[in-house]
């Protein structure tokens, strides 16, 4: 893990850096840049308040978000005391094995301690707590209601020297912010490719895998005893028998967030009866039984996600100095796998390392070549899983079906084998690469045990509706 600001303070690389976008990728990028630059400006187009909120540019934050164990570990490194701060604010820290009731491949995974912790909270709450900790750093300034119009360059258009912005909360005042480095962390809607084209550079190739997933979420009051023997529920569909799935996660302020989803137009209704009936149709009854006994606190909110999208910046022959792209602006994954925040965190770690090792000169080429190695793993996991479903469209690697068949056996082995369970969760949490599932010890256990059929744990009995 890269060193902290205290270790780096004697070697500053420039006077000012700018980060576009104050969502999670932008917060992590700003934290890394604060190690290397005198001043960091974090620019956000929307108004930002000092409380958990879903901003206009973040519609997906109203839905279930998972922070994988590797991402949580990185965030804790950069923000010491984060776990205690989250728990103090009402979030839960849960073991990915012991606290999760997960129905997959026809049965429930074994529930046992695996030593991998994730955060159980709403995304707005997690982002708010991290933003508060970030803004205590004296060299970071958040400029909200600040819209970036275009980058500024040197006369040869070979280096980004700043960004032209409009302060929407200050009478639409225009300003040029001069900078030594600009990080675009503005998300899937990034204008970076358009800016490159305007400056005479090639645009990156785009690779899309269409998934056409739709889901709906609702918040409920959480009481002790709602869920016995676990803190959260996941029900994963097993195509072609089922294409519907669901999540029930605890959040701060004694609340549940329940998300139900389907593919190819089979989306959950947003009326109460239809939402409950969709939950009843899932492959396991746990979420349905939970909904029968909890009090709704919000409306049912729909969301559609069309495609995994990857922009291949690493293939460009030319790229301007002083400019990088990070997070969903490079690659956005199907959100049901919870990889986005952790992928962004891993990219931020690599940025920190490269800045410490080589500075800003020639940074783009090295950076994009390194983060492609980071992105390859969650991309392989996400699109590989998506290709289990016949409605998925896109470029499919030749070995995908064979890998998926083996992963199915790993899933079945995880119903009763703690070693197989831990090996799978290490891959899912981006701690180890997918190839680790092929280690002889794991391969032997999977092939020996995967065909055993053991009784699944009994789900909770349905309660009478209140």
Give the C-alpha separation, 153 to 365, whole Å: 18
In total, the chain counts a number of residues equal to 466
Question: Model's pTM, two decimal places?
Answer: 0.93
- CA 61 from centroid of its chain's CA atoms: 11
pLDDT in tens, 212-271: 999 999 999 999 999 999 999 999 998 888 899 999 999 999 999 999 999 989 999 999
In the structure, what pLDDT confidence band is assigned to residue 457 with cuts at 50, 70 and 90?
very low
- Whole-number pLDDT of residue 2: 57
Tell whether omega for the bond before 179 is within 30 degrees of 0, i.e. cis.
no
Is residue 452's pLDDT more than 70? no
Taking alpha carbons only, the member of 362, 358, 379 closest to residue 312 is 379
Instruction: For the chain, give every domain's residue range.
Output: 5-91+124-207+308-382, 92-120+211-306, 400-449
- Whole-number pLDDT of residue 449: 65
In the structure, what pLDDT confidence band is assigned to residue 418 with cuts at 50, 70 and 90?
very high
pLDDT > 90 fraction of the chain, expressed in percent and rounded = 88
Burial class (CB in 10 A: 0-12, 13-18, 19+), 419: middle
The better pLDDT of the pair 465, 359 is held by 359
Q: Do domains 5-91+124-207+308-382 and 92-120+211-306 have the same CATH topology?
A: no
- Whole-number pLDDT of residue 8: 43
Give the C-alpha separation, 379 to 372, whole Å: 10
Sheet of 232-235, strands arranged across? 107-108, 100-104, 232-235, 245-251, 255-263, 205-221, 301-312, 331-332
Is residue 463's pLDDT more than 80? no
Tokens encoding 167: 């302060």
Average pLDDT rounded to a whole number, residues 107-117: 97
Tokens encoding 40: 């960091």
Cβ contact 74:348 at 8 Å: yes
pLDDT in tens, 133-176: 999 999 999 999 999 999 999 999 999 999 999 999 899 999 99
In the structure, what pLDDT confidence band is assigned to residue 97 with cuts at 50, 70 and 90?
very high
- Whole-number pLDDT of residue 240: 83
Pairing of strands 331-332, 146-153: unpaired
Per residue in 11-20, is it b (16+ CB within 10 Å) or e — as a string?
A: eebbebbbbb
237: alpha, beta or left? (left if phi > 0; alpha if psi -120 to 50): beta
Give the C-alpha separation, 355 to 3, whole Å: 11
Average pLDDT rounded to a whole number, residues 77-103: 96
- Whole-number pLDDT of residue 247: 97
- Whole-number pLDDT of residue 65: 87
User: What's the CATH architecture for 5-91+124-207+308-382?
Assistant: 3-Layer(bba) Sandwich (3.50)
pLDDT in tens, 8-58: 444 688 899 999 999 999 999 999 999 999 999 999 999 999 999 998 887
What is the rounded average pLDDT for all residues in the chain? 92
The better pLDDT of the pair 305, 66 is held by 305
Is residue 458's pLDDT more than 50? no
In the structure, what pLDDT confidence band is assigned to residue 451 with cuts at 50, 70 and 90?
low
Residue 244 has a CB neighbour count (10 Å cut-off) of 19
CATH of segment(s) 92-120+211-306: 3.30.9.100
pLDDT in tens, 369-384: 999 999 999 999 999 9
- Whole-number pLDDT of residue 1: 64
Cβ contact 298:59 at 8 Å: no
């Amino acid at each position: 893990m890269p060193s902290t600001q205290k270790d780096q303070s004697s070697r500053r690389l420039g006077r000012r850096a700018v980060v576009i976008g104050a969502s999670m990728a932008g917060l992590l990028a700003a934290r890394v840049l604060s190690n290397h630059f005198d001043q960091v400006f974090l620019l956000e187009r929307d108004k930002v308040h000092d409380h958990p909120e879903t901003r206009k540019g973040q519609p997906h934050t109203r839905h279930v978000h998972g922070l994988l164990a590797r991402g949580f570990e990185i965030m804790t490194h950069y923000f010491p005391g984060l776990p205690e701060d989250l728990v103090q604010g009402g979030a839960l820290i849960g073991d990915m094995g012991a606290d999760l009731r997960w129905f997959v491949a026809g049965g429930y995974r074994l529930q046992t301690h695996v030593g991998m912790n994730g955060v159980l909270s709403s995304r707005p709450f997690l982002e708010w707590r991290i933003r508060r900790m970030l803004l205590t750093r004296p060299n970071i300034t958040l400029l909200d209601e600040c819209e970036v119009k275009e980058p500024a360059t040197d006369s040869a258009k070979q280096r980004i020297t700043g960004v032209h912005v409009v302060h929407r909360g200050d009478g639409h005042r225009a300003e040029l912010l001069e900078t030594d480095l600009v990080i675009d962390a503005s998300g899937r809607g990034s204008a970076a490719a358009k800016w490159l084209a305007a400056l005479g550079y090639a645009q990156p190739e785009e690779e899309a895998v269409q998934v056409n997933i739709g889901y709906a979420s609702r918040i409920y009051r959480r009481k002790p005893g709602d869920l016995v023997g676990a803190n959260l529920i996941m029900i994963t569909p097993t195509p072609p028998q089922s294409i519907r799935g669901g999540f029930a996660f605890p959040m701060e302020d004694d609340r549940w967030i329940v998300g139900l989803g389907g593919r190819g137009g089979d989306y959950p209704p947003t009326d109460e009866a239809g939402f409950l009936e969709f939950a009843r149709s899932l492959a396991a009854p746990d979420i349905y039984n939970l909904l029968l006994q909890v009090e709704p606190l919000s409306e049912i909110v729909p969301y559609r996600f069309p495609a995994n999208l990857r922009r291949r910046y690493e293939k460009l022959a030319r790229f301007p100095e002083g400019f990088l792209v990070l997070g969903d602006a490079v690659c956005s994954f199907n959100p049901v796998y919870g990889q986005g925040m952790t992928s962004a965190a891993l990219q931020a770690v690599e940025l920190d390392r490269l800045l410490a090792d080589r500075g800003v000169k020639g940074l783009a080429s090295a950076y994009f070549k390194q983060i492609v190695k980071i992105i390859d793993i969650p991309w392989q996991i996400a699109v590989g899983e998506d290709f289990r479903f016949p409605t998925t469209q896109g470029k499919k690697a030749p070995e995908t079906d064979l890998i998926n068949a083996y992963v199915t056996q790993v899933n079945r082995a995880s119903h009763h084998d703690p070693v197989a369970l831990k090996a799978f969760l290490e891959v899912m949490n981006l701690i180890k690469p997918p190839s680790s599932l092929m280690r002889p010890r794991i391969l032997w256990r999977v092939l020996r045990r995967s065909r055993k059929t053991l009784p699944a744990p009994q789900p909770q009995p349905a309660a009478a509706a209140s």
